[in-house]
Each structure stands twice: as C-alpha cells, then as structure tokens.
Amino acid sequence: MRSSTELIHAGNQVTAGKTPPLTTPIYQTSTFVFDSAAQVQAYQEAREAGYLYSRYENPTVVAVERQVATVDGAEVSVLFSSGQAATTHALLTLLQQGDEVVCSAAIYGGTYHLIADLLPRFGIQGRFVSLEALGDPACVIGPKTRLIWFESPINPTLRCVDVRKVAEACRAAGVTSVADNTFASALNQPVLAMGVDLSMQSATKYLNGHSDVTAGVLSGSRRLLDPIAAARRLMGGVLDPQAAYALGRGLKTMPLRVARHNENAHAVAAALESHPAIACVYYPGLASHPDHATAARQMSGFGGMVTIDVKGGQTAAFRTFDRLRVIKRAASLGGVESICSLPILTSHTGLGDAELAAAGVSRGMIRISIGLEDPEDLIEDLHQALS
C-alpha cells in the first residue's frame, strides 16, 4: 500500500488481545466495519450481534446505558444528547394528535415551553395544574389525558409531590406517569420502584456530577422505551461516545457523591435556618419545610439543593450573591462545585409579582447547588456574604 493509504488504515487493528481494558473504551467512531454481505445480512436479521452506525447504537453509549439502568433500578435506560432531548423524544413518541399531557405548573422552564409552545403545533395539548391539584391526582386526569409529567422536589422552593399517589392514580386510569427525577436522583428517590412508569433525568446534573457533560436519560420498562429508542434513530438525539465516557466515569462515584451532597446541604440548611439576615431556608430535610413529611416518606436523602430567601428582597439577594467567594455564580446544579443562581434572573425571569407569588418565588431567593467542598467553608462563605 502507498503511504497515504497506510496512514489511514494503520492502527485500526489494535486490540488489547487477552488483556481487556479495565475501563470502558471510547468507541469514537461513526460507523463499524463488516467482513461481507453475509455478515451485514446476519446483523440486519438479528442473527449476529454487532454495531452498524453510531446514531443507531455505539458500544460506549450502550455500556453507560447499562450503568444508568443499574442506578435507576430500571429494566432499560436510554441516553440522549441532553435532558431536553430525552424529554422531547419521550413526549413525541408516547403522545399523538388529540392527546393531552397534564403537567404540574411548577416545572423546569424548558419542559414548560416545550409543552406550552411547541407540542400544540402537533395537536398535543398541555394542561398545567397546581401542586395542590396534583395532591389529588385522580381529579386532574381528563378523558384525553394520556400522560402526567411531574417533578419532585421542584425548583426553587423544593416543594414535593406525593410520587406514589401520582403513580397509583395514573396506573388506575391507564395513563403513563413520567417523573423528572433530576433534583433527587434515584439514589435518593427511586421513582420507578415507587410505581412511576418512566423516569427522566438531566444527566448533566448529579449522574455526571462534574459539570462537564450535557446529557439526558430515560429509564423504565422495555415496553415503553423500545419505541422511544427506535424514535431516537429517526430524531437523532443520540449521545456522543466521548460524552458518554465522561458520564460513565462520573457515575462510578455517584453513590459517594450523592451521600456527601445530602450531608453538606443538610449542614448548610441547618446552619442558616436561624440566621438573622434570612427570612426562610427551603430544604426538604428541615422539619420547617412545608413538605417535610412527604419528603421523609419518599426520600432516603434530601438532596443537594438549598434555597434561601434573604431579608430585604432583590437588593439584599443581589448583594449577597455578588459577595460569595467559594460558591460560584452559575446556572445548572449537581456538580462537585457549589454554584448558585437567582431564580428571578434564571428559571423565573421576566415574571411579574403575581406570577412569582403563584410559583412561591420571591425576589430575595438564592438557589444553591451544594457541592462537595468542606461544609464549614460553604457556611463561612454564606455568613460573610450575608454580613
């Protein structure tokens, strides 16, 4: 072969022989090589295992899907290029023209706009109900309802929905229940074991845990996920192998991380509860939280998210926010680094006073994703910022 040909093909045959790699290799390839037409045919007729094209399936992605299924206690997990991609694939596969999706009004903004603004173009209607209404889930199910989409705990007040109650009402009515379990994760709140049909998570958050990957995942039964995985081939929201590798690496330490997020958040919430500059601390692990009883019933850990409502409203909240040194000002959550955001400038931006009040959001709120630093440093940082 000439050197340019050799350059392209040399190295392609390297394998580890009888000493396989300890960690999952990154199969950074868009396609896979077959020996013959007979082999392609055997693959297509499912007589021979293998891979054809990375938009369909990729070994690194498949390996990480198995890891997530283990964490979620799921028959199967399917990865996507973002949490929003996972949500979009689920809704567009499970619903059709004329169907209605019932959704709690307190929901991630991306999910809200997808359901409120985009799905109606395809003849799918969203109906948003209050958290109080969702407390009696059988009553929110109408004749056209095919799916209930909900979150618990919700952003930024960390109010909780009774997960089992929603799951049971859906099952009784033949409606699919989907929980966005991004804030809690299955390690704190195993929603599938509680009867929910499908779990959605932004894997960008606690599953990866290192703020360096954008990914999403759906977990549940093969019956629900096989058609969604088939739709992923067509809609194309697959995860890149490199990102899948980073996600899989993060997943290995998830139980350790989540336990420490829980401990740190509880310590910070408890330390701030009686601070004279704070009107209210929202953390489901505190007895003062309005949904503490529900959280204690359904969560084995209360998560890493804490919201504080600073006395003095927006001016005081902006001042505190700007003075933080260890806790960084950034959107997102679930990483090893503590970060914080102002709901009135992020999730609830542009809302008037009445809408903010309806969502239970105040202008003095700061939402904090508690990381894995020493909790004393986080408490000191907040004390100096509040002083």
Ligand X SMILES: Cc1ncc(COP(=O)(O)O)c(C=O)c1O
Residues at the site binding ligand X, with contacts judged by CB under 6 A? 82-84, 108, 110, 151, 180, 182-183, 202, 204, 214, 216, 332
Kindly name the residue from 146, 159, 165, 205 that is annotated as catalytic.
205
| 201 φ/ψ angles, rounded to the nearest 5 degrees | -140, 140
- In angstroms, give the least distance from the CB of 143 to ligand X: 28
Angle at 39 between CA 37 and CA 44, to 5 degrees: 95
Toward ligand X, which CB reaches closer, 93 or 214? 214
Catalytic residue among 180, 197, 240, 291: 180
Say which of 27, 108, 282, 283 is annotated catalytic: 108
In the complex, minimum distance from the CB of residue 44 to ligand X, in angstroms, rounded to a whole number: 33
Q: Is 242 in a helix, a strand, or coil?
A: helix
Comparing every residue's Cβ against ligand X, the nearest one is 83
Catalytic annotation present for 205: yes
Question: If you ran DSSP here, which 8-state letter would residue 15 be given?
Answer: -
Q: Which residue has the tokens 């082999």?
A: 39
Nearer to ligand X, 284 or 375 (CB): 284
Sign of CA dihedral 258, 297, 309, 351: positive
Which one of the listed residues 51, 55, 56, 164 is annotated catalytic? Answer: 55
Neighbour order of strands in the sheet with 278-282: 278-282, 305-310, 365-369, 339-341, 328-329
| Residue recorded with tokens 């009445």 | 354
* Distant-in-sequence, close-in-space partners of 321: CB < 8 Å, separation ≥ 6: 329, 340, 342, 366, 385
Can you tell me the distance from the alpha carbon of 223 to that of 34, in angstroms, rounded to the nearest whole number? 30
| 180: annotated active-site residue | yes
| Rounded least distance, CB 36 to ligand X, Å | 41
108 is catalytic: yes
Provide, rounded to whole angstroms, the least separation between the CB of residue 294 and ligand X. Answer: 18
Specify the residue, 84 or 264, whose C-beta has the smaller distance to ligand X. 84
Comparing CB distances to ligand X, the nearer of 29 and 332 is 332
In sequence order, what are the beta bridge partners of 328? 339
Catalytic status, residue 159: no
List active site positions. Answer: 55, 108, 180, 205
